[in-house]
């Protein structure tokens, strides 16, 4: 069963808007299934986040939602793909943190980040990638053991074993020919 849940981001409050069978949900194919992932269509409210997956389980007592298989998160600024995604809520039902694992890909404008695991702290606006993290912007690449991105300040911290490869102007010109 394909499930769709819309988390309203106004005030970081969440509300379950729809849970629909596969025939009404957005079709998602991943590289695992042999095709590129297709973005979920965001709700008409541009401040909404849409999460689609093959399966969703929600435990109200633990304040936790678990999305499994073909997970795609889409909002107005970022897109996240993973095999599994856990969303943790506070006592007043606000999103506290998000943890993604398995083939994690994060796309924001011209930035593409990949890794085995990612965690996102809503309060701090901090995302941490581990497990072969790689950040790519155009032809420049950053790798290390842990890469931390702060969403609101556009800061990046890479440690330990940070490695930044900056493409030369000649390489960039060669790739456009």
**Which domains, from first to last, does the chain contain?**
3-175 (2.60.450.10)
The candidate with the shortest Cα–Cα distance to 67, out of 161, 128, 1, is 1
Distances (CA, A) of 43 to 8, 69, 113: 9, 21, 25
Q: What pLDDT is attached to residue 3? A: 35
Contact of 24 with 63, CB cutoff 8 Å = no
Query: What pLDDT is attached to residue 174?
Result: 58
Establish how many alpha carbons lie within 13 A of residue 6's alpha carbon, considering only the half-sphere containing its beta carbon: 17
Residues of the chain whose pLDDT is less than 50? 1-40, 42-43
The pLDDT tens digits of the residues spanning 115-161 come to 999 999 989 989 999 999 999 998 999 999 999 988 788 798 999 99
Contact 68, 46 (CB under 8 A): no
Residue 11: the pLDDT is 25
User: What local confidence, expressed as pLDDT, does residue 171 receive?
Assistant: 59
Residue 177 is predicted with a pLDDT of: 56
pLDDT of residue 151: 78
């Amino acid at each position: 069963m394909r499930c769709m849940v819309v988390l309203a981001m106004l005030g970081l409050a969440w509300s379950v808007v729809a849970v629909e069978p596969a025939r009404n949900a957005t079709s998602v194919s991943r590289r695992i299934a042999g095709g590129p992932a297709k973005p979920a269509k965001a709700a008409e409210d541009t401040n909404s986040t849409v999460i689609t997956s093959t399966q969703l389980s929600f435990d109200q007592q633990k304040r936790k939602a678990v999305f499994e298989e073909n997970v795609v998160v889409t909002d107005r600024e970022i897109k996240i793909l993973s095999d599994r995604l856990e969303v943790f809520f506070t006592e007043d039902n606000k999103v506290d943190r998000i943890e993604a694992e398995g083939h994690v890909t994060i796309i924001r404008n011209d930035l593409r980040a990949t890794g085995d695991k990612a965690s996102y702290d809503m309060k701090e606006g901090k995302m941490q990638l581990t497990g072969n993290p790689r950040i790519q912007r155009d032809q420049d690449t950053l790798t290390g053991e842990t890469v931390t991105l702060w969403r609101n300040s556009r800061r990046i911290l890479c440690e330990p074993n940070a490695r930044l490869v900056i493409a030369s102007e000649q390489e960039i010109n060669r790739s456009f020919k």
